[in-house]
Each structure stands twice: as structure tokens, then as C-alpha cells.
Structure 1
């Protein structure tokens, strides 16, 4: 168990938080479509990972209020990146799905970000790269806890 009252654990947690946040911000700037906000990109990413969802489900997953998600979905629909279809069980609701255009854009965005990150990783020495490769599954676990 971590003891944040201990200098070493507290310093490691602080360094991890700071570096992950800084790297995340830099990765987010590697976008294919600059007209989309980070929130819009996040919603498209959630749809790609989790599949179609109602606006309410998307709001919960994205940690935003339902009225905000309604506006985001409307913007994405106007840009041709999502489509709204009737809910199969509740006709009062709609289901949001990514369009082929969104899927193509997301794939290109992932490719661009991977290339950028690979260029950074190429600057590491072999020992640093091995440590980073070993840490990747742990970071993935933290991201989904």
C-alpha cells in the first residue's frame, strides 16, 4: 500500500501525475481535425471503444451533464460525425453512432499520435524503452480502474 506521508511514495505519485498529465496534453495536440474540441474527440473515442449509446449513457461515461452532451451530440451530428437513430426499445430515446467519416478520422488521428509518440520513444535508450514497455500494461490498468 502506498504511504503518501512518506516522501518517496508522495514524490513518485506527484511525478507520475505530472508527467502523465503533461504527456496527455501533448498527445491531445496531435489531432487530425483541429475544428473538433477535445471533448468532441473524447465522445467520438468513447463511441468507437464502447459502441453506440444514448446521449445519457455518453454523458455518464464522459462525466458531463446530459444537456451538455445533447449540445455536443448535435454539433457532431451537424459535422457528419455521428448519426442519431431511434432506440430499439424506448422510442422516446435516440441512439448515437459514429459515422464512417468519424471512424476514418479517428483511425488517422490514432495513427498520427502513434507516429508522434514513437518519435519521442526513439529518443530513449534501450533500458528506458524496456522500462516503458513494461510499464504500459500497468498504466493501462490505472487508466481503467
Structure 2
């Protein structure tokens, strides 16, 4: 929890809520997504994700488009501004980690890499 809280301080846009930032990260990383798929990835209901998407769209960080194969579906895509926020956040977090990582011993680094894989597996279940 403390690490998560500390990493949130490295976001490029402190005005975004954790759920808004996470949704933006999915769209940035995965490419255009339907609101339903984004809700699945975030493990929230589609109406809840729709509210999050509305906030991100109001801030100009994502845009809604009709799906090319089905005009009834809505696809969300990250804007250049949204992508810039994600890039800057990654840069800040990488710098924060690198500064602390270099203080670890080689054994501690190897252990941390293994733990990272395990934590990722737990998070994906």
C-alpha cells in the first residue's frame, strides 16, 4: 500500500483519480477499447466505467468514436494529451525506481524481479 501510494505521487496529472488514471493507462497501453472491455479490465461495472470515461473525455485525455464494424459500439482512444501524461508519468516513476534500485545489492535486485513476477500473477487472477 505504501509503495502504491508513493508511486501515485509520481503521476504527471495529480488531478486524475486513481480509477481515471488506471483506465487511461489501459487505453494507452492496449489501444482503442470498448467501454465494456475497459470495465472488464478494471473489474468494474460498465455504468461505472462510463462515468470514468466521461471524466477523461471532459479533460480531453480520451475521445469516443464509433466502432468501424458496428456503429452502435463506442470505442475510446487516448488523445495526444493523454498519451503525454502517461509518458511523463512513466518517466517519473522510472526515475524514482532507478534511484532506489541502484542502492540494492545484486541479490536484492534479483529477488525483487522475481517478486514482481509473482505480484503480477496475483494481480491478474
TM-score (norm 2): 0.86
Deviates more, 1:50-59 or 1:38-47: 50-59
The partner residue of 2:68 within 79, 84, 88 is 88
Report what 2:48 is aligned to.
68
Give unpaired runs (5+ residues) of structure 2: none
Report what 1:9 is aligned to.
none
With CA pairs under 8 Å and 6+ residues apart, which has the higher RCO, 1 or 2?
Answer: 2
Partners in 1 of 2:31 and 2:23 — Cα distance?
11
Partners in 1 of 2:49 and 2:117 — Cα distance?
31
User: Which contiguous aligned blocks of 4+ residues in structure 1 show a shift greater than 6 angstroms?
Assistant: none
The partner residue of 1:104 within 74, 84, 88 is 84
Matched, 1:129 2:109: yes
Matched, 1:48 2:24: no
TM-score (norm 1): 0.76
Report what 2:18 is aligned to.
38
1:36-71, Cα deviation, whole Å (9 max, x unpaired): 111111001111222211111111111111111111
- Return the index of the structure with the highest Cα Rg: 1
Matched, 1:58 2:38: yes
Aligned length: 125
Per-residue deviation, 1:26: 1.9
Report what 1:16 is aligned to.
none
Question: CA RMSD for the aligned pairs?
Answer: 1.8
The partner residue of 2:94 within 108, 111, 114 is 114
Structure 2 SS opposite 1:31: coil
Structure 2 SS opposite 1:96: strand
